[in-house]
Amino acid sequence: MSTMRSDSLVQREAEALIRAKVAEEIGAQLEPRTVKLPGGATMQLDGVAGEPGAETVFVEIFAHQGEMKGGQKRKVGQDAFKLVTLGRLRPGARLVLALADDGLPLSYAKQKTWFAEAVEAWGIQVVVVDISSGEREKIRAAQKTQEMVNPGETEL
């Protein structure tokens, strides 16, 4: 069986679909964007609305379906930390963590976990979008064949 890196075409297509649904739900035009931070570092975001330097909405998307392992929980945590950072740098910006699975990922982000409390305390809105069963199955199939690749320290 061949393996794919964890940023597969299926995942990117799912993120585009989820981004469109989140945009519709929150009423903002979203696009993936690299945001420059005051110290000169940059951050890749799954969805951003507003003019560069004056962004009003920041969205991170977690397309994973089903049971989450440690790496997936770390990914959601890193996404939330990105949003927290942007919230501190751009007070008043809307921070959104978008999910497409109302099972375990939602439980982790919204129900009686320290992470759920942190998300709420930092003002991150958790949005769950509905995707078709066909899209869910495509993502699950891709997840089975993906080779989990440890991110380099520069991605933290």
Q: What is the pLDDT along the chain (156 residues), one digit of tens a residue?
A: 333 344 577 777 888 989 999 999 999 999 999 999 999 999 999 999 998 888 899 999 987 777 777 777 788 889 999 999 999 999 999 999 998 876 655 566 666 788 888 989 999 999 988 877 777 777 777 777 664 444 554 444
Helix ranges, 27-56 (H): none
Going from N- to C-terminal start, the domains of the chain cover 4-149
Q: How far apart are CA 17 and CA 148, in angstroms?
A: 23
CATH architecture, domain defined by 4-149: 3-Layer(aba) Sandwich (3.40)
